[in-house]
Structure 1
C-alpha cells in the first residue's frame, strides 16, 4: 500500500509530508516523498537546488529517480538536510531533479508511479504560495512550487493538491488565499506535530516550524526571514485544505509558462519575465554578500546583548514569536556557530522556547493574534 507525496517546495514541505502522511493515513505504511534538495543558504552555501550529481551513494529507484539514504554524502561545499532526514525518519526520500525542467520532472513522477503503483498521489505545499498568480507583491519564492505544480498537471494520473498552514510561508496572506484553498480536510494536532518534533529542533524550515507550532497551540505574530516578515499565528495555521489542482495550474502564470521547459535555466528566465526576479538570483547575490563578511568569534555576552535589543525592538512592533533562522540571521550567526547560539538560548532563555519557535513575550502574556491580513497591509 504505497503512497507518493510530492513536496512542492522541498525542504520543510518534505518534513510536513511526513507529519501529514501519518495524520491522514496512519503509520502502518509510509509514503515515498519526492522532494527537492533545496535548503537555502543556512544549510547549503551553494545557491539553488542540488541535483543527483551533487550526491554520492544515492539508491536508484527508476531510470531518472534515486532515493537519498542516510549514508548519502554531498560533494563539497554543497549541503542538504535529506541524508539526516533519511536517518531520523522512516520514510523514503526520493530526489527530484529540476535541472531537466518540467518535462523531466513530469517524467520522474510518471516513472515513480509506474514503479510504485501508489494508491494515492498528493502534491503538498505549506503556506499556499503554490496558489499564487505570479504578480502578488509579497511573493518571494514561487519557482519551486510552480515547477512542481506544472509537472503534476502534466502527468496522466489523478493528483490531489493539499495546502497546509495557509499564509505561514509569509508570501500570500490567508485572506487572499481564502477563495482558492478549497475545503478543510484535516486540522493538525499537537500529538501529530510531535511526530516531527525532534527533526524541527534542527531543521531550518520556518513555514513548517510555524505549522507545527500552531498545531501545538501557538498564537500571535511571528517574525521570519532576513527581511523580518510578520506572519500571523492563527487558527488557520494547523489546517490542511484540498485545493483544485487544475484551477491552481490555470491561474498560476509562472506554472503555465514553465510547463514545457526542459531546463532549470529556462524556467528561471520565465520567473524573471513574469515575477520580475528569480529566487536563485537572490540566493546568488546573498551568497556573494555572505562570502565577503569576515568571520568572527562567538562572544556569548555580545550575543545576549544583541538578543535583548532585538527582543525589545520586536516587541515594540507587536511581535510575539520568532524563528531560530530569523534570530540567527539578525545576529549574523552562520555555520557551526548556530549550534552555539541554540545552546546559549536554551541555557539563558529556556522559558521562551515554544518549540520550535522562540517566544518574545513572557510565558502567559502573549498578545491576541491579529487578523491575518493586517501585518502585510501595515508593513
Structure 2
C-alpha cells in the first residue's frame, strides 16, 4: 500500500533503471509521454522512446533498422516526407541537449509488433515499460457505444501483455479529447472505476505548467506544430493548451475549424494503470491476438462489435 503523499506511478518506476516510454496509438502519441520521460531522465534514469508510427517507414535507409518492424530515428534520418513525428521529436530532443533518438515501430498486427517490442526490450535490457495514450480510447473495453480509434492502442496493449519480465504500465492523458471520435467520457469514468475495483488503477496526477517538464512539453508541442503545419496534433495541442491554463474553445490549428473545443484542466491529468489490468478488461483482446496486419485488427473488432450488446453513452451531470 502506498502513502497519500507519494505518486504511485513514479513509486513503481523508482527501482527501474532502464525504462521504455512508448506511444501506443501512433501519430504524435509519444509526445503525450514526454513529461513522464523527461521527469525520469531528470532523475538519471536511462530512458528509451518509441512510437507506433504512421510514417512510411519502408522508405528508411537500411542502417535505420534494428529488427523487423523496428527502426531507430535520429535528427538526420532521411525520409522524404514532412509528417514524421518521430524525427521531429528527435530533432527537438537534440536541440535541448537530450539524446536525439526515437524508435519507430511499424503499424502492424499483434504478432509482428510483439516481436518488435521484444527486440527493443532485449536490446536495451528494459526493466519497465510505460505505454502512453494521448486520449482515452485505450481504456475502452469494447462494448461501449463508441470506441474512438482503438486499433493501434489495443494492438500495442496486446503485444506487450504477453511479454514477461519488465514492469508494464499504461498512462492516459487528454481526458475529453476523444469526445470528437464518439467516446462517452461517462463510460470512460465507469471503466476507470472498474479498473480500480480490479486493482489495476494507480491514480491520477497533473502536469503543471510551472514544472520543468510541463514547460518543456509545451515547447515540444509548439516545435512540432511549427514543423508539421499541415497536420499538427489536435490531441497534444489540446493537452498543451490545458497545461498553459487555457479554457474553452481554444484555437491552435485550422484543423479544428468546424468543431467547438472544450479545453479544460482535466486534459492535463495523467491516469495510470497496470497494463495487465487493461488487457484483462478488454473484451476482444483474444480476437486480435493472432493478427499480423492492422486491417485484420480492424476486422476483428468490427466482427466483435456486431455480436456484443453495446452500453449506451453515460452523461456526466452538469
TM-score (norm. length: structure 1) = 0.62
**2:115: which partner in 1?**
107
Q: Which of 239, 245, 249 does residue 279 from structure 2 map onto?
A: 249
Count of residues paired in the alignment:
268
Residues 57 and 186 (structure 1 numbering): CA distance in 2 closer, same or farther, change over 3 Å?
farther
Whether 1:82 and 2:86 are equivalent positions in the alignment is yes
1:70-94 Cα shifts (integer Å, max 9, x gaps): 2223356x84222222112135211
Task: Return the match for 2:297 from 263, 267, 275.
Answer: 267
1:28 is matched with 44
Asked if 1:168 corresponds to 2:177, the answer is yes
Aligned CA distance change for structure 1 residues 139 and 185 (closer, same or farther; 3 Å): closer
Contact 1:64/1:111 (<8 A) preserved: no
Q: Kindly tell me: are residues 185 and 22 of structure 1, through their superposed partners in 2, closer, same or farther at Cα, counting changes over 3 Å?
A: farther
Q: Of 96, 99, 102, which aligns to 1:93? A: 102
Q: 2:203 aligns with which of 184, 192, 199?
A: 184
* Structure 1: distance between partners of 2:242 and 2:105: 29
Q: Is contact 1:184–1:239 with CA below 8 Å preserved after alignment?
A: no
Please give the TM-score of this superposition, normalised by the length of structure 2.
0.73
RMSD: 3.0
- Helix, strand or coil at the partner of 2:35: helix
The residue number in structure 1 matching 2:5 is: none
1:73 and 2:89 matched: no
Change in 2 beyond 3 A, CA 1:213/1:256: farther
Per-residue CA distance 1:133-186 (angstroms, 9 max, x = gap): 234344331111111111111211331111122222334343321243334343
Higher relative contact order structure (alpha carbons within 8 Å, sequence separation ≥ 6): 2
Aligned to 1:140: 148
Q: Please, which of 134, 139, 147 is the counterpart of residue 131 of structure 1?
A: 139
Q: Deviations over 1:199-238 (max 9, x none)?
A: 3221511111111221221222558966945553333221
* Whole-Å separation in 2 of the counterparts to 1:104 and 1:36: 12
In the alignment, which residue of structure 1 is the partner of 2:220? 199
Q: Secondary structure at the match of 1:166?
A: coil
> Which of 53, 56, 66 is the equivalent residue of 2:58?
53
Instruction: Give 1 or 2 for the bigger CA radius of gyration.
Output: 1
Distance in 1 (CA, whole Å) between partners of 2:43 and 2:101 is 14
Q: Is the 8 A contact 1:187 1:239 kept in 2?
A: yes
Gapped runs of 5+ residues in structure 2?
A: 1-16, 193-200, 307-314
Residues 238 and 113 of structure 1: CA distance in aligned 2, closer, same or farther (over 3 Å): same
Q: How does 1:258-337 map to 2 (within 5 A)?
A: 258-275=288-305
SS of 2:216's equivalent in the other structure is helix
Measured in 2, the distance between the counterparts of 1:119 and 1:193 equals: 25
Match of 1:15 among 3, 10, 31: 31
- Secondary structure, counterpart of 2:49 in structure 1: strand
Take 2:23 and 2:69, find their aligned partners in 1: how far apart are those partners?
Answer: 17
Q: Retained in 2: the 8 A contact 1:57–1:71?
A: no
